[in-house]
Amino acid sequence: MSSVLGDEECPRCGGVLCWERHTRGYWHWTRCLRCGFYESERLIWNDDTPALDDEGNWRFDHTKVVGRGAYVLKPKDAIASQVGSLGEDFGPELLRDFLDMDLIQIDCDPAKSYITYFDPETRAVTVLWGEMKPDLYVEYADE
Ligand SMILES: [Zn+2]
């Protein structure tokens, strides 16, 4: 298994859009840790062979989250962070629920963790909690 990591400017928020692509095309993902945009494609397998569509092309599972924000949660006793995107229904009113459920359970380090809110009309990214580093290069948790 080998893959290539890279990054480019996020077209939604101007942040860092990170990506990873498997060199043989079996899967790839793209994620922005400011606005929460996330997209991935993963090859579907039938036992040891790729699943094919009616025309003989490989079939992929496709996931896309437009994202109303992102989170990076760094547990105090772990090396890797948990990262993710907040769905379309996320807003400031849901922040309290999120804080209660997730942060308390995993005991995050607020200096290395954050939650953002992305406003699609103004394209502004607001840090709701924690501290977002300017370069956004963080250790990734396994997806
Ligand atoms: Zn973005």
Pair (99, 45) in one structural domain: no
Mean pLDDT, residues 27-55 = 93
Ligand 1 geometric centre to CA of 70 (Å): 9
The whole-chain average pLDDT of the chain stands at 83
Domain boundary (31, 50, 65) is at 65
Range of the structural domain that residue 55 is part of: 3-65
Question: What's the 103 CA to ligand 1 centre distance in angstroms?
Answer: 23
Residue found under tokens 């101007």: 14
Choose one of 12, 45, 65: the last residue of a domain: 65
Burial class for 134, CB neighbours closer than 10 Å (0-12, 13-18, 19+): exposed
* pTM of this prediction exceeds 0.85: no
Q: What is the pLDDT of residue 142?
A: 39
Residue list, CB under 5 A from ion ligand 1: 10, 12-13, 15, 32, 34-35
Looking at the structure of the chain, the number of domains it has is 2
- 52 CA distance to ligand 1 middle (Å): 33
Same domain, 54 and 108: no
- With b for 16 or more beta-carbon neighbours within 10 A and e for fewer, the 47-79 pattern comes to eeeeeeeeeeeeebeeeebebbbbbbbbbeeee
Q: How far is the CA of 82 from the centre of ligand 1 (A)?
A: 18
Instruction: Please check whether residues 84 and 119 belong to one and the same domain.
Output: yes
Task: Spell out the alpha helix ranges (H) of the chain.
Answer: 92-98, 104-106
- Residues 60, 103 within the same domain: no
Cβ atoms 15, 49 nearer than 8 A: no
Last residue of a domain, one of 65, 83, 98: 65
Tell me if residue 45 falls in helix, strand or coil.
strand
